[in-house]
């Protein structure tokens, strides 16, 4: 019985590629490595070539005697959500969920739906509260230069609103 090889489209290294997936077989691996322009992706654990019609024909001609080739995944439209869950500030009203929709609206089997994205519901027992520290845009603390007229090599910024400490190296620091 022949081995099974599956071809799929894959976005890898800033380009669309034809990915070649198969269970490990040394002979089949040597056949695939004989295809001009083929490379191995350790990230995706597959071989791949540029997504062109010529490469597809070359793969089919090279691999067809060593394995059965499944190409239906090349022509199937992959469904990817075009939206991402929105991050929510804890001070927003509790009458809306994490997507901004009213609670109970777009609810389906314990999950909220908005714009074809399914997201788990927000924790319902969270109460909004004021931040214990005063609200200010940001406080910048800059270290003093060692010599008059010189530039300090390190700048510190603290943003209470976002809770960040930024350390920026602005010059030489030896």
* pLDDT tens, residue by residue, 142-153: 555 566 656 666
Burial category of 69 from C-beta neighbours within 10 Å (exposed 0-12, middle 13-18, buried 19 and up): middle
Res 154: pLDDT: 72
Most confident of 38-52, 68-82, 100-114: 38-52
What is the reported pTM?
0.45
61 neighbors 55 (Cβ within 8 angstroms): no
Res 30: pLDDT: 96
Res 34: pLDDT: 94
90 neighbors 82 (Cβ within 8 angstroms): no
Angle at which helix 53-63 crosses helix 26-33, to 10 degrees, equals 140
Q: What are the structure tokens assigned to 167, written together? A: 């350390």
Does 49 have pLDDT greater than 70? Answer: yes
Res 47: pLDDT: 96
Domains, the chain, ordered by start: 3-75 (3.30.780), 90-122 (no CATH), 139-169 (no CATH)
> Residue 159 and residue 166: Cα distance in Å, rounded?
8
Q: What are the structure tokens assigned to 45, written together? A: 């654990």
Does 123 have pLDDT greater than 50? Answer: no
Confidence band for 77, pLDDT divided at 50, 70 and 90: low
Question: For the chain, what is the largest distance between any 2 Cα atoms, rounded to a whole number of angstroms?
Answer: 82
The total of other beta-carbon atoms located within 10 Å of residue 107's CB is: 14
Confidence band for 82, pLDDT divided at 50, 70 and 90: very low
Q: What are the structure tokens assigned to 98, written together? A: 């994490």
pLDDT in tens, 126-138: 555 555 544 445 5
């Amino acid at each position: 019985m022949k081995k099974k090889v599956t071809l799929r489209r894959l976005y890898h290294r800033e380009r669309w590629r034809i990915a070649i997936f198969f269970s490990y077989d040394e002979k089949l691996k040597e056949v695939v490595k004989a295809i001009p322009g083929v490379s191995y992706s350790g990230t995706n654990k597959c071989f791949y070539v540029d997504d062109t019609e010529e490469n597809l024909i070359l793969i089919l001609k090279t691999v067809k005697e060593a394995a059965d080739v499944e190409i239906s995944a090349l022509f199937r439209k992959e469904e990817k959500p075009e939206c991402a869950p929105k991050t929510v500030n804890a001070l927003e009203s509790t009458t809306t969920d994490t997507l901004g929709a009213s609670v109970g609206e777009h609810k389906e089997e314990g999950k909220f739906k908005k714009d074809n994205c399914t997201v788990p519901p927000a924790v319902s027992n969270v109460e909004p509260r004021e931040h214990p520290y005063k609200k200010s845009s940001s406080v910048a603390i800059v270290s003093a230069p060692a010599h008059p007229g010189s530039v300090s090599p390190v700048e510190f910024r603290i943003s209470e609103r976002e809770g960040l400490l930024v350390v920026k190296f602005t010059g030489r620091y030896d």
